[in-house]
Amino acid sequence: MSTTLATLSGLQDKIIADSTALFRLRSDLFNAVYTQSAGSASVVQFMSSGVPGAATKQAVENTDVTPTVVTISDVPAQLETYPILVRSSKISIAAPNAELKIAEQLAGGIARTVDTIIAQLFNGFSNAVGDNATDVNIDSFFTAVAKLDESGYVGDKVAVLHPMTWKKIGKDILGLSGAGNKANEYLTRGYIANVGGVDIYVSPWVDASGQYTNGVYFKEALGLGYREPVIDIESMPNLEKVAVDFLATAFLKAVELTDAAGVKLIDKLVV
């Protein structure tokens, strides 16, 4: 099959469709946060709910009522652009299912970006447990969970751990879940298991700059916005390389929605 403008145009449409479907599956953390599509717009509108400051008090007749206040506010987020380039030889383009192979590479790049920008948000949590000179253990992990519960926020709880942090406490956590420390659960990444009401995820994209900055949070504490389709794509012949460059631009934004609903779990680096 010769590579023509018509061929490339047809490939691009298929690549966009496949990449949009695949990146969710390739991401470790897409399901670890609140997600919202912006449709074809460039801004996604999140809603953030506050934590009740106190329990509601009984109203007494003929006295002033002081209701408990819970705030709900909008958090508009401007999508950011992330370029990803895949270079394919002309022979590869002519192969069966070429669009799927290119989409796999693009989806992997989008997924890595999604996981990285989500994990970077853990640094922003005001509440913290641990330090960069101390190894995380099962006690410090549950201290972070307890600190989260102490906030008074209600929702689905999530813990995202670096693989090295998971290595330190994974067997203990899986033992508590009754999983029997099976290798397929201990050695995997992405979603692992639910332990004590906490969904455990493992991702190598957790920040490891001087320490492992893991996240323990209510799912609605963080938001991920994305456009649909998630990418625009352009194809350009690369005559020097006898190839075709597919330049995709992903439209994404990760944002903190409720600071009080998250804790950063700091762990000593393994060196």
Which helix (H) or strand (E) segment holds residue 125: the answer is none
User: 140-150, pLDDT tens digit by residue?
Assistant: 999 999 999 98
Which pairs from 131-136 meet CB under 8 Å and 24+ separation? 131/211, 131/266, 131/268, 132/210, 132/211, 132/266, 132/267, 132/268, 132/269, 133/268, 134/267, 134/268, 135/168, 135/267, 135/268, 136/165, 136/168, 136/169, 136/212, 136/214, 136/265, 136/266, 136/267, 136/268
What is the sign of the dihedral through the CA atoms of 58, 59, 60 and 66?
positive
Which one is predicted more confidently, 267 or 55? Answer: 267
Cβ atoms of residues 180 and 118 within 8 Å: no
Among candidates 183, 213, 172, 179, which has minimal Cα distance to 194? Answer: 179
In degrees and rounded to multiples of 5, residue 45 shows phi and psi of -105, 110
pLDDT at 5: 43
C-alpha distance from residue 246 to each of 21, 85, 118 (Å):
18, 6, 26
Please give the average per-residue pLDDT across 64-68, as a whole number.
74
Residue 26 pLDDT exceeds 80: yes
Contacts of 237 (CB under 8 A, 6+ apart): 3, 243, 244, 245
pLDDT at 240: 80
In degrees and rounded to multiples of 5, residue 5 shows phi and psi of -60, -40
User: 83-129, pLDDT tens digit by residue?
Assistant: 999 888 887 877 888 888 899 999 999 999 999 999 999 999 999 99
Could you please state the CATH topology (level 3) that the domain comprising 5-44+76-267 is classified under.
phage-related protein like fold (3.90.1690)
Question: Quick one: what percent of the chain has pLDDT higher than 70?
Answer: 89
Structure tokens at 126: 């005001």
User: Which of 60-64, 111-115, 267-271 has the lowest average pLDDT?
Assistant: 60-64
pLDDT at 32: 97
Burial tier of 259 (Cβ tally within 10 Å: 0-12, 13-18, 19+)? middle
pLDDT at 60: 79
Please give the average per-residue pLDDT across 41-48, as a whole number.
90
pLDDT at 91: 79
**What does the mean pLDDT of the chain come to?**
87
Please give the average per-residue pLDDT across 44-60, as a whole number.
75
pLDDT at 189: 83
User: 164-215, pLDDT tens digit by residue?
Assistant: 999 999 888 887 655 554 555 566 789 998 888 999 999 999 999 999 999 9
C-alpha angle 123/160/78, rounded to 5°?
Answer: 55
